[in-house]
Structure 1
Amino acid sequence: MRLASTLAALLATAATLGTALPAQAAAPALQIVKISYDSPGADRRSNSSLNAEYIILLNTTGKAVALEGWSVRDKTGYTYEFGADVLLGAKKRITLRTGQGSDGSGSVYWNRKQYVWNNDQDTAYVLNRSGKLVDSCSYKARSTSASVTC
């Protein structure tokens, strides 16, 4: 209740002075939602274990985004680049899985035979087709979770 009254007072003051409160930064067009960095069980590089390691991205815009040339990379520099056939609908999510598989139904595959995301800590970066950083998410492992919500 105290926060609500403070906010109301700030809004009233801003209106009286004819000034606006600072706008919040706009969400990036492609935002990291979640990273699953430690797949269940022993890390034996089976394809099912590799595919249990993934990153989920969200199109925050009201329009479809053609992801050709966009990329995701980790702190080490392992890089996945989206192909020409990936169109992410407005407000839709896509999952990038580390292992091998067939792209479609909301998932694309890095087609790696080794893990990307470190189990202790790492940073994920999303870059647009111009190579400009659009979003990033860092994590440090927690004993209670093998994933992080960004």
Structure 2
Amino acid sequence: MIIRRTVTAAAATAAVAALALTAAIPAHAAEYSSALKIKGVQYDAPGRDSNKCSGGNTKNEYLTIKNYSKKSKVNLKGYKVRDKAGNTFVFKSNHILEPGDYVHLRGGRGTDSDGKNVVYRQNCNFIWNNDKDTIYLYKPGGKPADIHAYTKKAHDKDGNGYIKYHG
């Protein structure tokens, strides 16, 4: 009987450890079934950070979102981008990405352009932290499309402020 309890206690300890390990896996480790994925992020705009709308460099901070489908177009309207702190941008207009096409979601103010593959957040504040952050991309219904966490030290080996995720 004592041996059984020891085995049962050991099995319970192993189960708790496995559960803790599963809970420790970050959300960004999962792959989501979405044609749209985060291709990369220029999280640290080149130069000295200045979030002034005139003469600042927030437009040089951008997120690249790509349609990885080989056949289907994707309309960005309703997709949401968010950082760990809760700063959010929702694509409010139709912006169609052809298969293999991409868009740069830039900070600052500007004119959105399908031809130049750019959408502006119309906000001069930086969204991505220069040391670490998490990038969330959600489908219009709220389900995750892609999530990536980064730290400058672990993910930006060349120190250029750009991290590539999906090729």
TM-score for the superposition, normalised by structure 1: 0.78
Distance 1:26 1:118, change over 3 A: closer
1:85 deviates by 2.0
Gaps of 5+ in 1: 1-24
In 2, distance between residues paired with 1:60 and 1:149?
15
**2:133 corresponds to which of 107, 111, 122:** 122
Does structure 1 residue 40 correspond to structure 2 residue 46? Answer: yes
1:66 deviates by 1.2
Does structure 1 residue 79 correspond to structure 2 residue 85? Answer: no
Counterpart in 2 of 1:108? Answer: 119
Moved over 4 A (4+): none
Residue type of the partner of 1:118? Answer: N
Answer yes or no: is the 8 Å Cα contact 1:68–1:85 preserved in 2. Answer: yes
Structure with greater Cα Rg: 2
Counterpart in 1 of 2:150? Answer: 139
Tell me how many residue pairs correspond in the alignment: 126
In 2, distance between residues paired with 1:147 and 1:136?
16
Distance 1:55 1:85, change over 3 A: same
Gaps of 5+ in 2: 1-30
Does structure 1 residue 55 correspond to structure 2 residue 70? Answer: no
Task: Look up the SS of the partner of 2:57 in the other structure.
Answer: helix
In 2, distance between residues paired with 1:109 and 1:33?
17
TM-score for the superposition, normalised by structure 2: 0.70
When the two chains are superposed, the root-mean-square deviation of aligned CA atoms in Å is 1.7
1:28 deviates by 2.5
Question: Which range moved further: 54-63 or 43-52?
Answer: 43-52
1:138 deviates by 1.3
In 1, distance between residues paired with 2:98 and 2:67?
7
Percent identical: 32
Distance 1:26 1:41, change over 3 A: closer
- After TM superposition, list the pairs within 5 Å mapping 1:19-34 onto structure 2: 28-34=34-40
1:45 deviates by 1.3
In 1, distance between residues paired with 2:143 and 2:103?
20
